């Protein structure tokens, strides 16, 4: 490990580290534009110049490997002068339009110009002007501001795996563009906005909306997929204006998906801000909370416990789930389910539904079998991690499911489940690859687990896991990829049918037959709502989506940005959202609505503040108390023997942009959906 | 500049290499180790350009990208970086006038002025007749015989206003004169004739 001296401080860095990293180790901040620790080194902005002893001129610290015995100084006059020179060149062609630039206030160039810029320009000639580039509905370009750091090019090529951006031309006429200005077809595309050190790539939906210093910033969790990416929610007044990623090496590094970032405009549309009651005319009319509760209590008091059921949706927080479960436990109904899609998961076998290896585990996996999932659209940030692993080690990946471009090469196994029995029996070449791997990994998607033969698939996969070493004493590579942010919390607390209880399918069937007197939909929109016409339906949620349209009573709840709620991601990691704005109108936090309703029945649920709900939840399921942590699951026997069905294996999701009530209400997501549709139509035409 | 301004407005609907070029491609690809076929991008672009009236249509870029398993934008980056590749149609006679210092000192400006007078085109333009395109380029590497005008693949050297005019007329008549120095200079010898080894030269001649 090389030892070097930075400003007379001696540091030791890992072999292969750069001088820039050594400087950071020594606590010295080096200005930079092109260097980014998660991208390859370009060395083209020259802002990171430092002095090295015995070097005739300053060196670019980002591109210079740290060597033993180097003596680096970063505060000499020569360094300052060199950086000032670089800055002057960067500003030669950079417009002075900070007052109308959306990057203003959070711009690397602006900040560093404060340190290294001159107060006036010596440049008399005209600045170059570059035409705007079309990059789709999310990214606004003002290419005159571009300083050609190529971070965006490297991101789309390396991390996103969709090499669409490039620098054409040369010298002064270099321009960053997509090929023939096609829309970017990546689910991670908007991360280049964060990467852009200047205002060349800015957010189109957020254009001219706010300045960074006007916003209140809240640290939260994304719920549009089950990964639980860490986000920062920026709000002004009652509106959430933007979502930015937060650093969490264990979960999302520093990326988030486009849906996490841009579905938030759906929070302003189609919101339920008032309780509604279905009147005699068959239409929903605004009502008071009192009337709404009275209507529900009337039905609940008359109905027998087994005539009532509850279905929880995909984005419900643990507190609301727990409150509803407590309510139904109390009235004695076993009919509760949080698996809208009918996934056949046994909530008692925790290792059968977790992403056991954890996301960080992907970094050490050396063979991967994906079954019934398209991780690129189900968890794009996690998929980027698989791609990173592939790029570093060329791990073999096999994919069973609908054919898709996962951004890394796969050994495509087709979409027939029979292949799985072959692999499990060791008769397929990929079984050998897994056998010889030290840390093989399996990712099972909802496409496999919601099939009728899911039990048999789980049985096969578990057998395979034991056989080829997917599970060993120090490694568990059996991973389930959920698509619903609230699912694992629901399973952890047992929000599944109790003894003799009906699952979602059973409840809907019973409701259709008129055997259900009351069905409570807690944010559940992804079910066949036409089956609910014969029962009294309560919809509790935040959007007027499919569920609300069939409901007899609508109870307006809070979206994830409007409440403190626990979510458990697919790894089993407990994380918490925080309130950025208040729920609109008369909407309330979901646990509080259920608590208030219980007053109308013959009992009251034993909690009256958010703290007491959470305490009760932690008392019932202790690991909910360890925020940020994962409680590992013991490897148990699961699945059951049975015959496999012959139908084709599907993926968990078929499209990326509109998958929940919030993203369906989002105009931005609708635009992306159309653009992606057009993109695939064009690709098909070619 | 934008992508639209550097590529041709009217693009052909498809592109395929001729059978003859396919053979050449096989030879070119064989030069690179397996998995490194992207290295062949420059020779392939050159082949495409030679096959397609000295310019590269976008379909050829896409074809090459597909062929070499590269992203289209990567091929376009290469094709737009080098002045060697034309992304727009050029005349039958593609004139590249060197105006870098040695050529300039030896009268490149006269050469360029002559082209302007005779064909009414400046750098990057194509003449009205469509047969000539002129591009001012940086050093062509033949400074000893400056100034240089590269016509398609060939160098014409030691040009002045008069000889440039004659050259253009000859080209217009489809009778390109012999390539090389227009004043009859051999190789890179001094303009006034050989000054060293003169004796050996004579002996060599006498020995014939």
Residues of B in contact with A181 (CB under 8 A): 3
User: Does the pLDDT at position B208 exceed 50?
Assistant: no
Q: What does the pLDDT average to over A363-381?
A: 96
Instruction: Using CB atoms, pick whichever of A166, A173, A181 lies closest to residue B77.
Output: A166
Contact A130 B3 (CB under 8 A): no
Q: Is CATH 3.40.30.10 what the domain over B93-177 is classified as, yes or no?
A: yes
CA distance A56 to B81: 31
The whole-number pLDDT of residue A66 equals: 94
Q: Which residue of B has its CA nearest to A173?
A: B1
User: Does the pLDDT at position A180 exceed 90?
Assistant: no
User: Does the pLDDT at position B190 exceed 90?
Assistant: no
Complex ipTM: 0.89
Pairing type for strands B132-137 and B125-126 reads antiparallel
Contact A163 B2 (CB under 8 A): no
Contact A169 B81 (CB under 8 A): yes
The whole-number pLDDT of residue A682 equals: 79
Q: How many CB atoms lie within 10 A of CB A397?
A: 24
pTM of the predicted model as reported, rounded to 2 decimal places: 0.92
Q: Which residue of B has its CA nearest to A182?
A: B73
Q: Which residue of B has its CA nearest to A143?
A: B2
Measured CA to CA in angstroms, residue B18 lies from A112, B48, B52, B66, B125 at distances of 54, 9, 10, 17, 29
Q: Give just the sign of the alpha carbon dihedral A521, A527, A528, A529.
A: positive
Q: What does the pLDDT average to over A153-182?
A: 92
User: Does the pLDDT at position A136 exceed 70?
Assistant: yes
Does residue B147 have a cis peptide bond before it, meaning omega lies within 30 degrees of 0? yes
Summarised one tens digit per residue, pLDDT across range A286-325 is 999 999 999 999 999 999 999 999 999 999 999 999 999 9
Residue B168 CA to its chain's centroid (Å):
16
Phi, psi at residue A363, to the nearest 5°? -65, -15
Instruction: Using CB atoms, pick whichever of B1, B3, B77 lies closest to residue A180.
Output: B3
Q: Is CATH 1.10.10.1590 what the domain over B12-81 is classified as, yes or no?
A: yes
Contact A164 B71 (CB under 8 A): yes
Summarised one tens digit per residue, pLDDT across range A521-563 is 999 999 999 999 999 999 999 999 999 999 999 999 999 999 9
Q: What does the pLDDT average to over B171-180?
A: 93
Distance from CA of B113 to the nearest CA of A (A): 26
CA distance A307 to A300: 9
3 state SS of A536: strand
Instruction: Using CB atoms, pick whichever of A130, A166, A173 lies closest to residue B76.
Output: A166
Summarised one tens digit per residue, pLDDT across range A647-663 is 999 999 999 999 999 99
The whole-number pLDDT of residue B206 equals: 52
User: Does the pLDDT at position B64 exceed 70?
Assistant: yes
> Would you give the DSSP letter of residue B162?
H
Q: Which residue of B has its CA nearest to A157?
A: B71
A131 interfaces chain B, CB cutoff of 8 Å: yes
Whether the CB-CB separation of A458 and A639 falls below 8 Å is answered with yes
The whole-number pLDDT of residue B6 equals: 83
Question: CATH topology of B12-81 equal to that of B93-177?
Answer: no
3 state SS of A253: strand
Q: Which residue of A has its CA nearest to B78?
A: A168
Domain locations along chain B:
12-81, 93-177
Distance from CA of A437 to the nearest CA of B (A): 24
Alpha-helical regions (H) of A374-495:
375-378, 380-393, 418-424, 429-436, 446-449, 454-468, 487-493
Question: What number of residues does chain B have?
Answer: 208
Percent of chain A with pLDDT over 70: 100
Contact B73 A131 (CB under 8 A): no
Distance from CA of A131 to the nearest CA of B (A): 6
Summarised one tens digit per residue, pLDDT across range B136-161 is 999 999 999 989 999 999 999 999 99
> In this structure, what token pair is assigned to residue A388?
């990173």
> Would you give the DSSP letter of residue A66?
P
pLDDT classification of B207: cutoffs 50, 70, 90 = very low
Distance from CA of B28 to the nearest CA of A (A): 25
Give the angle A366-A367-A372 at the CA atoms, nearest 5°.
140
Helix, strand counts (H, E) of chain B: 9, 6
Q: What residue has token string 């093989």? A: A440
Contact A169 B6 (CB under 8 A): yes
């Amino acid at each position: 490990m090389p030892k070097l001296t930075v400003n007379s401080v001696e540091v030791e860095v890992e072999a292969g580290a750069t001088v820039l990293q050594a400087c950071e180790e020594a606590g010295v901040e080096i200005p930079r534009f092109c260097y980014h620790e998660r991208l390859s080194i370009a060395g083209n902005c020259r802002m990171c110049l430092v002095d090295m002893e015995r070097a005739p001129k300053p060196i670019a610290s980002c591109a210079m490997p740290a060597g033993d015995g180097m003596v680096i100084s970063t505060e000499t006059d020569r360094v300052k002068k060199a950086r000032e020179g670089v800055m002057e060149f960067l500003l030669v062609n950079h417009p002075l339009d900070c007052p109308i630039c959306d990057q203003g206030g959070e711009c690397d160039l602006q900040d560093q110009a404060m340190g290294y810029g001159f107060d006036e320009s010596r440049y008399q000639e005209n600045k170059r002007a570059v035409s705007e580039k079309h990059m789709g509905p999310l990214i606004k370009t003002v290419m005159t501001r571009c300083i050609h750091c190529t971070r965006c090019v490297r991101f789309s090529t390396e991390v996103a795996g969709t090499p669409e951006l490039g620098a054409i031309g040369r010298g002064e006429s270099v321009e960053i563009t997509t090929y023939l200005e096609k829309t970017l077809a990546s689910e991670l595309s908007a991360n280049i906005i964060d990467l852009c050190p200047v205002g060349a790539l800015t957010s189109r939906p957020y254009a001219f909306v706010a300045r960074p210093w006007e916003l209140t910033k809240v640290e939260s969790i994304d719920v549009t997929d089950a990964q639980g990416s860490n986000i920062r929610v920026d709000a002004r007044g009652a509106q959430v204006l933007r979502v930015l990623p937060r650093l969490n090496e264990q979960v999302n590094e520093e990326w988030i998906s486009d849906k996490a970032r841009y579905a938030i405009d759906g929070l302003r549309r189609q919101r339920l801000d008032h309780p509604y009651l279905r009147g005699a005319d068959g239409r929903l009319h605004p009502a008071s909370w009192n009337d709404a509760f009275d209507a529900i209590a009337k039905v609940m008091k008359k109905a027998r416990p087994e005539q009532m059921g509850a279905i929880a949706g995909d984005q419900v927080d643990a507190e609301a789930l727990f409150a509803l479960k407590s309510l139904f436990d109390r009235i004695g109904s076993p009919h509760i389910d949080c698996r809208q899609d009918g996934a056949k998961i046994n909530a008692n076998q925790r290792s059968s539904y977790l992403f056991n290896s954890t996301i960080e585990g992907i970094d050490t996996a050396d063979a991967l079998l994906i079954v019934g999932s398209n991780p690129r659209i189900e968890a794009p940030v996690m998929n980027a991690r698989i791609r990173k692993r592939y790029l570093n080690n060329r791990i073999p990946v096999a994919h069973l499911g609908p054919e898709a471009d996962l951004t890394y090469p796969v050994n495509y196994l087709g979409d027939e489940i029979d292949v799985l029995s072959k692999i499990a029996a060791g008769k397929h070449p990929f079984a050998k690859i897994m056998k010889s791997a030290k840390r093989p990994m399996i990712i099972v998607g909802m496409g496999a687990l919601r099939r009728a033969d899911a039990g048999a698939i789980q049985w096969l996969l578990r057998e395979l896991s034991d056989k080829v070493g997917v599970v060993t004493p120090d490694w568990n590579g059996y991973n389930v990829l959920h698509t619903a942010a609230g699912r694992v919390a629901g399973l952890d607390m047992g929000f599944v049918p109790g003894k003799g209880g009906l699952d979602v399918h059973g409840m809907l069937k019973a409701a259709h037959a008129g055997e259900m007197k009351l069905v409570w939909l807690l944010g559940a929109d992804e079910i066949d709502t036409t089956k609910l016409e014969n029962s009294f339906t309560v919809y509790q949620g935040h959007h007027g989506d499919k569920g609300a349209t069939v409901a007899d009573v609508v109870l307006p709840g809070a979206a994830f940005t409007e409440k403190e709620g626990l979510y458990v991601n697919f790894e089993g990691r407990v994380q918490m959202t925080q309130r950025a704005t208040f729920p609109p109108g008369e909407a309330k936090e979901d646990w509080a609505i259920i608590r208030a309703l219980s007053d109308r029945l013959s009992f009251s649920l034993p909690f009256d503040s958010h703290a007491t709900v959470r305490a009760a939840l932690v008392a019932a399921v202790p690991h909910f108390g360890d925020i940020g942590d994962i409680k590992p699951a013991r490897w148990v026997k699961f699945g059951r023997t049975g015959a496999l069905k012959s139908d084709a294996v599907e993926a968990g999701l078929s499209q990326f942009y509109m998958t929940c009530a919030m993203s369906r209400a989002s105009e931005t997501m609708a635009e992306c959906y159309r653009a992606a549709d057009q993109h695939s139509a064009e690709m098909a035409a070619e | 500049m934008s992508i639209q301004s550097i590529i041709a407005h009217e693009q052909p609907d498809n592109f395929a290499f001729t059978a003859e070029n396919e053979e050449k491609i096989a030879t070119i690809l064989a030069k690179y180790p397996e998995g490194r076929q992207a290295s062949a991008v420059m020779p392939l672009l050159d082949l495409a350009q030679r096959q397609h009236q000295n310019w590269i249509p976008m379909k050829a870029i896409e074809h090459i990208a597909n062929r070499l398993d590269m992203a289209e934008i990567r091929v376009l980056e290469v094709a737009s970086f080098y002045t060697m590749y034309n992304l727009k149609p050029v005349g039958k006679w593609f004139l590249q006038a060197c105006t870098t210092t040695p050529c300039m000192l030896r009268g490149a400006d006269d050469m360029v002025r002559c082209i302007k007078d005779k064909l009414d085109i400046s750098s990057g333009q194509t003449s009205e007749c469509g047969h000539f395109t002129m591009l001012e380029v940086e050093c062509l590497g033949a400074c000893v015989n400056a100034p240089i005008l590269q016509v398609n693949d060939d160098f014409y050297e030691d040009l002045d206003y008069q000889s440039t005019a004659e050259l253009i007329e000859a080209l217009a008549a489809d009778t390109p004169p012999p390539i090389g120095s227009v004043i009859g200079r051999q190789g890179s010898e001094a303009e006034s004739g050989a000054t060293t080894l003169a004796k050996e030269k004579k002996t060599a001649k006498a020995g014939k």
